[in-house]
Amino acid sequence: MLTPATIHRVVGAALEEDAPWGDLTSEALIPAEAVATADLVAREAGVLSGGGVFAAAFALTDPGVAVDVHVGDGDEFAPGDVLASVSGPARSILTAERVALNFAQRMSGIATLTAAYVRAVAGSRARIADTRKTTPGLRAFERHAVASGGGSNHRFSLSDAVMAKDNHLAVLTRSGVDTATALRAAIARLPHTAHVVVEVDRLDQIPAVLDGGAHTVLLDNFSVDDLRAGVALIDGRATVEASGGVDLDTVGAIASTGVDVISVGALTHSARALDLGLDLRIG
């Protein structure tokens, strides 16, 4: 998902946003011939994501800036660890600093939070997955960060899979079409590779969804007891996904019910940016 073309496009736009007519401060104060070395230093423990994005911010600002990333995406680090080093024209380093840090801090925060969820379900069959609750324009970056933290990616977009949610089912009901019939007709029209997910919020909706041939049944905002009942009712005939009401205090109990996937919107919409700093040395 996080291709070089995507990095170039999004990071380039961020740099343009931050310095549309150049970096007035650096150009006014810093001699053109000044060079510098800077270290990306962790102020707290975490999991790195976005090392390549961090490097791209400097490369797109000035190809003369060299970046050496010391820690790979998905690697854990401790406070005080040097994660990357940057050297080259001081003006260019100062110009790219904020954008580079914004991406590294945001992505590493997501990776670190995801890793905490993955640890919380260790020993269960459940995978931790993200959702489409991402920052507009940054989905590929945030999804990459989830993967860095050991999580799984849900469908990337509306074009990737069929996912019938409560509002889709409500429209069908108002149209007088039963769920099983609508699903069977849809599956007959779809490519054989298309995955079909149906969200339910009550146990009594499950039989019709299974009858319709859904590949995944998403149990939305179910209690732990109802999740267990849902897993038993589905009995291996579809992948079971749980969503809603998931946080670090509840995810372990949810995983214990036997669900296959736990989707967590908080991974991307509520992750705190990690505290990383760029310590500069003028040479």
Read off the CATH number of the domain in which 238 is found. Answer: 3.20.20.70
Q: 156 near 188, Cβ under 8 Å?
A: no
* Of 165, 226, 228, 237, catalytic: 165
One domain, residues 131 and 235: yes
One domain, residues 36 and 163: no
One domain, residues 142 and 107: no
One domain, residues 127 and 251: yes
Segments of the chain with pLDDT less than 70: 282-283
Average pLDDT, the chain: 96
One domain, residues 169 and 33: no
DSSP-based three-state secondary structure for 55: helix
What pLDDT score does 170 carry?
A: 85
* Of 23, 39, 97, 199, catalytic: 199
One domain, residues 211 and 102: no
One domain, residues 104 and 131: no
One domain, residues 23 and 127: no
Domain span including residue 242? 123-269
* Of 98, 132, 155, 237, catalytic: 98
Q: Is 132 a catalytic residue?
A: no
What pLDDT score does 172 carry?
A: 85
pTM summary value: 0.94
CB-based contacts of 199, cutoff 8 Å, min separation 6: 163, 164, 165, 166, 169, 218, 220, 243
Q: Is 165 a catalytic residue?
A: yes
What is the count of structural domains for the chain?
Answer: 2
One domain, residues 225 and 155: yes
One domain, residues 128 and 188: yes
One domain, residues 213 and 180: yes
What sections of the chain are H helices per DSSP?
4-18, 24-29, 51-61, 90-120, 139-148, 166-174, 179-189, 206-212, 224-234, 251-255, 266-269
One domain, residues 10 and 47: yes
Read off the CATH number of the domain in which 91 is found. Answer: 3.90.1170.20
* Two structure tokens written together for 281: 């040395």
List, for residues 173-232, the tens digit of each pLDDT value.
888 888 999 999 999 999 999 999 999 999 999 999 999 999 999 999 999 999 999 999
* Of 220, 226, 237, 275, catalytic: 220
Q: Is 220 a catalytic residue?
A: yes
DSSP-based three-state secondary structure for 107: helix
What pLDDT score does 174 carry?
A: 83
Q: Is 98 a catalytic residue?
A: yes
What span, in angstroms and rounded, lies between the C-alpha atoms of 120 and 248? Answer: 7
* Of 18, 119, 132, 133, catalytic: 133
